[in-house]
Structure 1
Amino acid sequence: MGSSDIVDFIPLIGFGLLLTVLTAFLWYVCKPRNHHSLRSVAILVLGDIGRSPRMMYHAQSFAENGFVTDIVGYRGSDLTPALERLPRVQARYLPEPPIIVKFLPFVVAAPIKIIHQVVSILLVLLVYIEKPPEFLVVQNPPSIPSLALVQLVGRIRGSKVIIDWHNLGYSILALKVGEKHPFVRIYKWFEATFGYSAYAHLFVTHAMRDHLVKEWDLQGHKVVLHDRPPRHFHRSSAQETHELFRKIQPLIASQKGLSDFLPKYSAPYSTPFTHTTREKSTLSPTISRAVASSALHSHRAIVSSQPNTPPAEGLPNYTEIRAPVLRPDRPALLVSSTSWTPDEDFSILLEALGMYESRARELEATGGSPLPKLLAIVTGKGPMKKKYMEEVGFLQRSWKWVRCISLWLEAEDYPTLLGAADLGVSLHSSSSGLDLPMKVVDMFGCGLPVCALNFSCLDELVKHGKNGVVFNDASELAEQLEASG
């Protein structure tokens, strides 16, 4: 047999090897197994796990009720501390596509990314999680390819599929490319086909449940689970506010335009929002030492100088530092969390802040009751952040009463910021008109007054004039900002 004959057999040999590997893989995943592991669940998040609070809360609830819990998704933001502490929870991170894919043309890179994603998910759900889970929970959207994959895995491993309907994926795509685009029709067909049947469907609103049952005739148990804030969310004390702004002081200091806007402060005794009151000692050295020794049993922190050590030149000799209190000259603090996507119109807040600035200048000029300075802190990441923050930077060059900055906080600091704020603003409008903003739930949990942009099913969460106020445009929001000031 000549060398040319061997070359002719190479494709056949390669195909044979590929067929062998594929057969071995299918035998492994489809071979008879023991019954699925009772009291176990795998939760699939096709995104950054740390930026999916509802799914993390699901994982926490399962684990606290005795379920062995695997949460599958991409690495990024930190998990909530409460979730990380639970011994029954294991985060299984999906690998990112090879770096070289970023440099390939889109028509080549897109199929590679999809294939990589499908293979990665199947490996985790079929191989790395050795015992078949009793339940398989998937977040929707995104729908492609996750809905099809969990249906496949559910059939192979005998797991009960639960779909958590956060929103409708095709409606989000329609915001980007238009409702009549063929991709939107394909996406809607995919979502309806693979989301039609499941062991159970969870919904964030009654409106979404009613719509999907009517339009797609969903099969399986149907349960509405309104989001609830975590148990540890609460109104922040002055001490907690003080510690937070001490911690994020470098982030605040790095923001342009704040040095002449915020009141002067000196760490660690003061922040732009809090300060400690200090009293000069009138006690004898003996009494000072006695009081200092009992400091652990007091609600105040005592700092005692050694009796024979003279105070540093030019500094007062303080021996008692009281707990932090809120500063009377602090600016009003507004917080808004956004994903910087088209279904959250940041221009509404920006326009309202401009109106607040104009009104504050008008009152200053006419001698009316002045409005407080207003600092708006916007948290979150997303594709439109750079565009809007550049616009903010341009506008506030001429602003005197208002500043707006963007921060990304650790998960443990976010509720403290909400609890320290004076007002929360939600710009969520919902691409489908059927979901509710989780950020408002978090704000309620922290005792924060809320202004929310109105849309069709918002009244399932925010009752105007009862637990918050609703606005329809920038002028209404500006009026609410002024009234809260």
Structure 2
Amino acid sequence: MADVLSFLLVFAVSFVAVVLGVHVTELDTNWSILLGIVVFFSILSVWSFRGCRQDKHRHVCVLVLGDIGRSPRMQYHAISLSKHGYNVSFVGFFGTKPHEEVIANEKITIIPISEVKGLQVGPKILRYITKVVMQSLQLLYTLLKIDHHSHVLMQNPPGLPSIAVACLVSILRGTKFIIDWHNYGYTIMALTHGQRHPIVQVAKWYEKFFGRFSSYNLCVTKAMKEDLLKNWSIKATTLYDKPPLIFKETPLEHQHELFMKMARVYPQFKQCGESTSEDMERTAFTQRSGNTGAVSPVARRPILLLSSTSWTEDEDFSILLKALEDYEGFVNVGESLPELVCVITGKGPQKEYYKKLIDSKSFNHVKICTPWLEAEDYPRLLGSADLGVCLHKSSSGLDLPMKVVDMFGCCLPVCAIHFQCLHELVKHEENGLIFQDSKELTAQLKLLLSDFPSTEGKLGLFRRNLRASGQQRWEENWDQTVLPILTADNR
């Protein structure tokens, strides 16, 4: 409570300075406002340094103006920092449960903030402005309240208003400000409003202007690194998304345990037809002998096709649904193709729309479910799948889908929709296939699945290539790329 009162005192004193400037001194209004601003930031600077700790160089603030649990890259940052002895203040929305390694880590303190709504009445632009102002004040107070730190590491997008606020706090506290560019916020906004909308143009200017005040920048592709330098004069270091060690092929025993767990909720995972033996525990994919306890695949089991999504405008799932509809048609006319269970994981604004679309389909040989998985179950399901599908179409054309990174960590081949820099991750005909539309995706499904469960075809080849690739993991990649930046500043 004392912190809140002292923070409000800053605004009160600044307001008084403006009033005195107008009514007591001979300064005009503009100079009086300037005086108030100077007083405000002077007091704010003093207040922000209260209780500074001597070990600030071992303390980093990780900031995401979004759901922490749905921000895997920032969680990996926090875990990596903690492993190297840093205390981490993890600021963000506490909605979805984060990884257990984040929650149980004594060096990581989650500092939840709430999503501010602003005014609920009046013109839309006014409601948006009040939301930004209120979110800025909340974030400013939160960042100044936490222990002193050497670096602020912030995810962008979303960057409005967090870039400007984090920049201000870094100046006031004399800390380094690092932006991790996952994409551009203005290009995501343009999916809804169009490139020429005034709010999109303001957002673009905002990212470009305040982004230049960062001390360091990370980005997810070489293409984004080149774009930041060419168009915004921002120098960045490419930190590719890499899978952590939790993403790996799932042993058959653990597959069965996961399928049994999911079968209790999702009928798509239940055994098809009656069990041939009373002493056999079965799912649609696996079976466990009651006598020996051994787990084996079910004969003529279906394909497990997996896709994950945030259900946003940059992923058109009608493409996958049309391909599955065509696949169903080929099975109906006698093509030798396996039954198929398609699992689409994730949460997002368009989920209900697509669920209604899925429910309207009448499939006999294709089953679809849309679960939300616990953080620990998602890697196990990826490691149990036969094929992944990615429909992420970057709004900027400059970022890469982390879901494919995770799939590759599990040696899971993918079919991915084409966009500008996808080749930095997916190698066509080597670790997966790239398609342009639903027609190409259908052809690829037929090609890859026609000889299932044989491992001699392309699907088996892609998996063997992934196993042999010796993929670098997040921990090693982070140690080589990010750790030198932090240690250089702390000398």
- 2:471 maps to none
Task: Say if 2:329 is the partner of 1:358.
Answer: yes
**Aligned partner of 2:143: which letter?**
L
**Aligned partner of 1:273: which letter?**
F
Counterpart selection for 1:469 from 422, 433, 445 = 433
**Aligned partner of 1:404: which letter?**
I
Q: Return the offset for 1:262.
A: 3.8
Mapping 1:332-347, distance limit 5 Å: 332-347=303-318
Task: Say if 2:393 is the partner of 1:379.
Answer: no
Task: Say if 2:417 is the partner of 1:453.
Answer: yes
Counterpart selection for 1:160 from 169, 176, 182 = 176
- 1:316 maps to none
Instruction: Give the conservation status (yes or no) of the 8 Å contact 1:36–1:158.
Output: no
Alpha-carbon displacement from aligned partner over 1:381-421 (angstroms, at most 9, x marks no partner):
111111111111111x2x21112111100000000111111
Q: Return the offset for 1:200.
A: 1.0
Change (3 A) 1:217 1:103: closer
Q: Return the offset for 1:333.
A: 0.7
SS in 1 for 2:374: coil
Q: Return the offset for 1:106.
A: 5.0
Q: Return the offset for 1:482.
A: 1.4
- 1:240 maps to 254
- 2:60 maps to 41
Give, in whole Å, the separation in 2 of the partners of 1:480 and 1:150: 46
Task: Say if 2:112 is the partner of 1:146.
Answer: no
Q: Return the offset for 1:77.
A: 1.0
**Aligned partner of 2:445: which letter?**
L
Q: Return the offset for 1:362.
A: 1.4
Q: CA RMSD, aligned part only?
A: 2.6
Counterpart selection for 2:212 from 173, 176, 196 = 196
Give, in whole Å, the separation in 1 of the partners of 2:202 and 2:127: 21
Change (3 A) 1:213 1:240: same
Task: Say if 2:456 is the partner of 1:442.
Answer: no
Q: Return the offset for 1:58.
A: 0.8
Identity %: 42
Give, in whole Å, the separation in 2 of the partners of 1:274 and 1:331: 10
Give, in whole Å, the separation in 2 of the partners of 1:30 and 1:133: 11
- 1:69 maps to 88
Instruction: Return the TM-score normalized by structure 1.
Output: 0.80
Give, in whole Å, the separation in 2 of the partners of 1:121 and 1:458: 35
Give, in whole Å, the separation in 2 of the partners of 1:134 and 1:70: 11
Mapping 1:14-33, distance limit 5 Å: 19=16, 27-29=46-48
Instruction: Give the conservation status (yes or no) of the 8 Å contact 1:353–1:478.
Output: yes
Instruction: Return the TM-score normalized by structure 2.
Output: 0.79
Mapping 1:384-423, distance limit 5 Å: 384-395=350-361, 397=362, 399-423=363-387
Give, in whole Å, the separation in 1 of the partners of 2:181 and 2:217: 7
- 2:237 maps to 223
Change (3 A) 1:110 1:174: closer
Q: Return the offset for 1:190.
A: 0.3
SS in 2 for 1:269: strand
- 2:467 maps to none
SS in 2 for 1:322: coil
Instruction: Give the conservation status (yes or no) of the 8 Å contact 2:64–2:155.
Output: yes
Instruction: Give the conservation status (yes or no) of the 8 Å contact 1:36–1:159.
Output: no
Instruction: Give the conservation status (yes or no) of the 8 Å contact 2:250–2:380.
Output: yes
- 1:135 maps to 151
Q: Return the offset for 1:205.
A: 0.2
Instruction: Give the conservation status (yes or no) of the 8 Å contact 2:152–2:176.
Output: yes
Task: Say if 2:134 is the partner of 1:116.
Answer: yes
Give, in whole Å, the separation in 1 of the partners of 2:106 and 2:140: 25
Q: Return the offset for 1:144.
A: 0.8
Task: Say if 2:287 is the partner of 1:275.
Answer: yes
- 2:224 maps to 208
Give, in whole Å, the separation in 2 of the partners of 1:165 and 1:119: 23
Q: Which moved more, 1:471-480 or 1:204-213?
A: 471-480
Alpha-carbon displacement from aligned partner over 1:397-446 (angstroms, at most 9, x marks no partner):
2x211121111000000001111111100001100000000000000011
Give, in whole Å, the separation in 2 of the partners of 1:329 and 1:125: 56
Alpha-carbon displacement from aligned partner over 1:418-477 (angstroms, at most 9, x marks no partner):
111111000011000000000000000111111111111001001001111111111111
5+ long unaligned stretches in structure 2: 1-10, 18-38, 450-491
**Aligned partner of 1:372: which letter?**
P
Q: Return the offset for 1:40.
A: 1.6
Instruction: Give the conservation status (yes or no) of the 8 Å contact 1:241–1:416.
Output: yes
Give, in whole Å, the separation in 2 of the partners of 1:239 and 1:196: 51
- 1:302 maps to none
Q: Return the offset for 1:249.
A: 2.4
SS in 2 for 1:197: coil
Tell me the matched-pair count. 415
- 1:6 maps to none
**Aligned partner of 1:86: which letter?**
N
- 1:186 maps to 202
Q: Which moved more, 1:109-118 or 1:324-333?
A: 109-118
Instruction: Give the conservation status (yes or no) of the 8 Å contact 1:263–1:330.
Output: no
Q: Return the offset for 1:329.
A: 3.2
Change (3 A) 1:19 1:43: farther
Instruction: Give the conservation status (yes or no) of the 8 Å contact 2:247–2:410.
Output: yes
Instruction: Give the conservation status (yes or no) of the 8 Å contact 2:132–2:160.
Output: no
- 1:431 maps to 395
Change (3 A) 1:186 1:46: same
Counterpart selection for 1:54 from 63, 73, 95 = 73
Change (3 A) 1:94 1:16: closer
**Aligned partner of 1:465: which letter?**
E
Give, in whole Å, the separation in 1 of the partners of 2:91 and 2:428: 38
